[in-house]
Amino acid sequence: MTTRLIYFAWVRERIGTSEEEVELPAGIETVADLLRWLQSRGEGYERALQYPDVIRVAINQEHVDHREKISGAREIALFPPMTGG
């Protein structure tokens, strides 16, 4: 199953794309697993995700924490802490 990954703000700039479809390898069960796997995909990912604690994550457009299971997620978004308002 493919999962749509979406990036915003400096996460998007460092990775170099705003979204992509990925085939997640077996063993990627939680958000934390996903962040670790993404870091191994190249220099941009490494720079974007070098401090994973800072990264905020939404699954299917709802905030989740890093322990959340990602099975069945259609859309996972990674972004910095929000600065709206």
Partner 1 sequence: MSAVLVPSVRIQRQDFDVAAEIAALTQGRADIGAVVTFSGLCRDEQGALSALELEHYPGMAEAEIGRIATEAVQRWPLQGLTVIHRHGKIAPGHNIVLVVAASAHRQAAFEAANFLMDYLKSRAPFWKKEHRTDGSEGGWVEAKEADALAAGRWKSPSE
C-alpha torsion sign, points 75, 70, 10, 38: negative
Of the candidates 75, 74, 55, the residue with the CA atom closest to the CA atom of residue 66: 55
Q: Which residue, 29 or 54, has its beta carbon nearer to partner 1? A: 54
Q: Which residues neighbour 38 within 8 Å (Cβ) at sequence distance 6 or greater?
A: 5, 45, 49, 78
Q: Which stretch binds partner 1 (CB under 8 A): 25-33, 34-42, 43-51, 72-80?
A: 72-80
C-beta of 43 vs 75, nearer to partner 1: 75
63 binds partner 1 (CB under 8 A): yes
* 33-62 residues near partner 1, rule: CB under 8 A: 58, 61-62
